[in-house]
Amino acid sequence: MPNNVDTMTEMLPLFPLSTVLFPGMRLPLHIFEERYLKLVRHLLEQPEPRQFGIIAISKGRETGADGVTALHEIGCVATVRRAEPREDGRFDLATVGDRRFRLLRVDRSLPYLQGEIEPLGDETGDAAAAPLATQRVQTAFRRYLNALADRGGAVISVADLPDEPVLLSYVVGAAMIIDLAERQSLLAAPDAVTRLRAERSLLVRETGMLRATTSRPAPDFSHEPYSPN
Question: Domain range holding 168?
Answer: 130-212
CA distances from 26 to 23, 55, 76, 108 (A): 9, 15, 12, 27
d(CA 127, CA 193): 8
Q: Which residues pair with 28 in a beta bridge?
A: 94
For residue range 172-198, what is the model confidence (pLDDT) as tens digits? 999 999 999 999 999 999 999 999 999
* 156 within 8 A of 149, measured Cβ to Cβ: yes
Query: Is residue 80 assigned to a domain?
Result: yes
Domain count, the chain: 2
Query: Is residue 223 assigned to a domain?
Result: no
For residue range 84-119, what is the model confidence (pLDDT) as tens digits? 999 999 999 999 999 999 999 999 999 999 999 999
**Confidence (pLDDT) at 16:** 94
- Tell me the pTM: 0.85
Nearest CA-CA partner of 186 in 175, 199, 167, 171? 199
Rg (C-alpha) for the chain, rounded Å, is 19
Query: Is residue 173 assigned to a domain?
Result: yes
Q: Do 146 and 104 lie in a common domain? A: no
For residue range 16-37, what is the model confidence (pLDDT) as tens digits? 999 999 999 999 999 999 999 9
Q: Do 66 and 152 lie in a common domain? A: no
CATH code, domain with 87 = 2.30.130.40
Which range has the worst mean pLDDT, 17-26, 46-55, 156-165, 186-195? 156-165
Q: Do 114 and 25 lie in a common domain? A: yes
pLDDT band of residue 69 (cuts 50, 70, 90) is: confident
Query: Is residue 219 assigned to a domain?
Result: no
For every residue of 71-91, DSSP letters joined together read E-SEEEEEEEEEEEE-TTS-E
Q: Do 49 and 85 lie in a common domain? A: yes
CATH code, domain with 162 = 1.20.58.1480
* 131 within 8 A of 137, measured Cβ to Cβ: no
Q: Do 49 and 82 lie in a common domain? A: yes
* 20 within 8 A of 217, measured Cβ to Cβ: no
Query: Is residue 164 assigned to a domain?
Result: yes
d(CA 136, CA 130): 10
Query: Is residue 112 assigned to a domain?
Result: yes
Q: Do 103 and 61 lie in a common domain? A: yes
Q: Do 135 and 115 lie in a common domain? A: no
Higher pLDDT, 72 or 220: 72
